Amino acid sequence: MDFQLSFKVNEHIYLRDPESSELGKQIVKNAIDLIYELGFEHFTFKKLAAKMSTTEASIYRYFENKHRLLLYILNWYWSYMEFLVDFTIQNIQDPKEKLTKIINLFTKSLPESVGQLDYNKSFLNQIVLSESSKVYLIKEVKEINSFQVFKPYKDLCNKISEVMLSLNPSYTYARSLSSTLIETAHSQQYFSKNLPRLTDVSNEKEEEFVFNFLSQLVFSALKPV
C-alpha cells in the first residue's frame, strides 16, 4: 500500500515548522542519517550544516538545540507507531491476537510497505533503540512536559493499554505495562546487539528473542488471577 504520511508535531518543539519548507524537511531527514552515523553525543548542528551544504544559522531558525531536534524526530516516531498500531489491528477482533500483533510491531524492523516516507526507516529504528530515552531522562523533563510534548508517546501507551484491558478488564497496571512493553522492546533489542550478556538471547535471532520474551512477560501479567 502506497500513501504519504504526515503528522502534526507539537509546535513548542520547534521554532519554525520543518514541514513548512523543503529546507526544514531536509534538516530532519539529514539529521536522522547523521545521528545514526555519528550517535547523538557526537552529532552537532555544525556537522549537519556541513552535510547539507548550508549554514548553522539556517538550522537554528528551525530548532533551538539538538535536543529539540531529537525530540521532534521521536514525536514523529511515536505518532507513526500509533498509526501502525491502528493500521495493523483494525480488522482484528480477538484482543490476544491484537496484542500479539502490537508486540510484533515493537520487536521487528519497521515495515517498509506502509506509507511513503522520506526518512530512512532503518536509521530511524536504530536511533529509537539507542537514543530515545535521551529526550526525557533529563533534568528539565517536568518543564518540557508542561507543554505536552510527550503527548504522542502517552497516546501510544494509552492505545496499547486499551487493548490490554480488552483482554483483561480487571488488570490494574495497563498503562504501566504498555510503557514497559515499549521501553523493554527498545532496551532488549539494544542489549541483544551490544551487550548480549544482559539478556538471554542465546542462539535465538535477536528479534525473535525479544518478541518471545515480551510475549511471555505481557501475557503472564495479563493472565487473570
Residues 160-198 as b or e (16 or more Cβ within 10 Å = b): bbebbbebbeebeebbebbbbbbebbbbbbbbbeeeeee
Question: What's this model's pTM, rounded to 2 decimal places?
Answer: 0.91
**Amino acid letter, residue 172:** T
**Amino acid letter, residue 29:** K
Rounded Cα distance between 78 and 110, Å, is: 12
Q: Does domain 18-222 have CATH number 3.40.50.720?
A: no
In the numeric block, which cell numbers belong to residue 82?
Answer: 500509533
Q: Tell me which residue of 46, 75, 82, 191 sits closest to 135, measured CA to CA.
A: 75
pLDDT at position 211? 96
In the numeric block, which cell numbers belong to residue 23?
Answer: 529546507
Q: What is the pLDDT of residues 38-97, one digit of tens each?
A: 999 999 999 999 999 999 999 999 999 999 999 999 999 999 999 999 999 999 999 999
**What average pLDDT does the chain have?**
93
Question: Per 3-state DSSP, what percentage of the chain is helix, strand, and coil (rounded to 5)?
Answer: 65, 0, 35
Q: What is the pLDDT of residues 12-35, one digit of tens each?
A: 999 999 999 999 999 999 999 999
